[in-house]
């Protein structure tokens, strides 16, 4: 946002110098910029959008990026993308590509999200968040191996990237069939960020579903799964489903069924219910835990 502020103020100065607006109008532009940025920082996105919209009417094109950020915070991803389209027509900057990639990802449009992250990587190849974003897009498109490579590269760029460790931990099991290294990555994620819910979630999953009984640990999985649910305010379909699996691994099938049903209800409401969830519920009802197949 500071970058947007500088660009918008520079634009106002240039308009004055070229005779398009007077000094008084430039002062008004400066006030609008200050107000818009302040409103955004305070979380008043509606006011920020109104001020940025006025700046756009005054031909301050840089305000499209500020308004896109406010729309993104309001979860109005379509309008955010539309504003970023305007930005990128004139300035293919990495920050705008990254934000538009994030917006596409929120809409589960992983094809466009991945394309934007790739373009941004060409401009700023040392930003680990871009590799994590692209890896997410690849993973959700079923391209696990290149996703694993991107998560690994993100870790090389930033060895304290807890989220990348959490994701790679899962993929060690999926791609490499290496649950021990996957578990180690998840533990590393938690150590780096004790509030990284995905680290706890994926650790619980690996400890519950590993094909090897020597590695599975239902009690540790249960502790980790409950922590993931706490960090997501007990309102996340994914963490509830992992909690159900952990209960099943401990032999507590009543709680397994209870949490699996709650997970499925949330997933159904959000349109993300997968067939595997019903398969897991069927197993729990027959007093059987869910384990991944051996590769």
For residue 213, CA distances in Å to 173, 200, 204, 210, 224 come to: 15, 20, 14, 7, 18
**What's this model's pTM, rounded to 2 decimal places?**
0.83
Farthest CA pair distance, the chain:
79
Residue 18 is given by DSSP the state T
Q: What is d(CA 17, CA 20) in angstroms, rounded to the nearest whole number?
A: 8
pLDDT tens for 103-143 read 999 999 999 999 999 999 999 999 999 999 999 999 999 99
Of 68, 81, 16, 14, the closest CA to residue 6 belongs to 14
Which residues 6+ apart lie within 8 Å of 218 measured at CB? 207, 208, 246, 249, 250, 251
Q: Is residue 158 pLDDT above 60, yes or no? A: yes
pLDDT tens for 215-256 read 999 999 999 999 999 999 999 999 999 999 999 999 999 999
pLDDT tens for 252-274 read 999 999 999 999 999 999 888 88
User: What string of DSSP letters covers 161-200?
Assistant: -HHHHHHHHHHHHHHH--HHHHHHHHHHHHHH-TT-HHHH
Q: What is d(CA 127, CA 221) in angstroms, rounded to the nearest whole number?
A: 33
Which domains, from first to last, does the chain contain? 1-102 (1.25.40.10)
**Dihedral sign computed on CA atoms, order 68, 74, 78, 79:** negative
Q: What is d(CA 295, CA 289) in angstroms, rounded to the nearest whole number?
A: 18
């Amino acid at each position: 946002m500071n970058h947007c502020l500088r660009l918008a103020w520079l634009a106002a100065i240039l308009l004055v110098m070229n005779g398009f607006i007077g000094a008084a109008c430039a002062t008004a532009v400066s006030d609008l910029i200050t107000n818009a940025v302040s409103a955004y920082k305070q979380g008043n996105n509606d006011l920020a959008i109104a001020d940025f919209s006025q700046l756009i009417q005054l031909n301050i094109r840089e305000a499209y990026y500020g308004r896109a950020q406010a729309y993104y915070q309001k979860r109005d991803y379509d309008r955010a993308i539309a504003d970023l389209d305007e930005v990128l027509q004139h300035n293919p900057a990495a920050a705008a590509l990254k934000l538009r990639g994030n917006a596409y990802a929120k809409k589960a449009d992983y094809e466009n999200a991945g394309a934007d992250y790739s373009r941004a990587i060409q401009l700023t190849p040392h930003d680990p968040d871009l590799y994590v974003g692209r890896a997410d897009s690849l993973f959700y498109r079923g391209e696990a191996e290149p996703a694993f490579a991107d998560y690994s590269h993100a870790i090389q760029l930033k060895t304290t990237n807890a989220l990348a460790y959490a994701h790679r931990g899962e993929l060690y099991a999926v791609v490499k069939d290496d649950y021990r290294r996957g578990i180690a990555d998840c533990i590393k994620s938690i150590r780096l960020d004790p509030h990284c819910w995905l680290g706890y979630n994926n650790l619980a999953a690996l400890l519950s579903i590993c094909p090897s009984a020597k590695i599975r640990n239902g009690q540790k999985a249960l502790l980790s799964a409950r922590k993931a649910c706490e960090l997501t305010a007990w309102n996340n379909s994914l963490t509830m489903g992992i909690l159900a699996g952990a209960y099943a691994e401990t032999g507590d099938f009543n709680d397994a069924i209870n949490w699996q049903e709650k997970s499925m209800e949330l997933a159904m409401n959000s349109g993300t219910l997968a067939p595997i969830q019903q398969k897991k519920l069927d197993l729990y009802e027959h007093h059987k835990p869910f384990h991944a197949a051996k590769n």
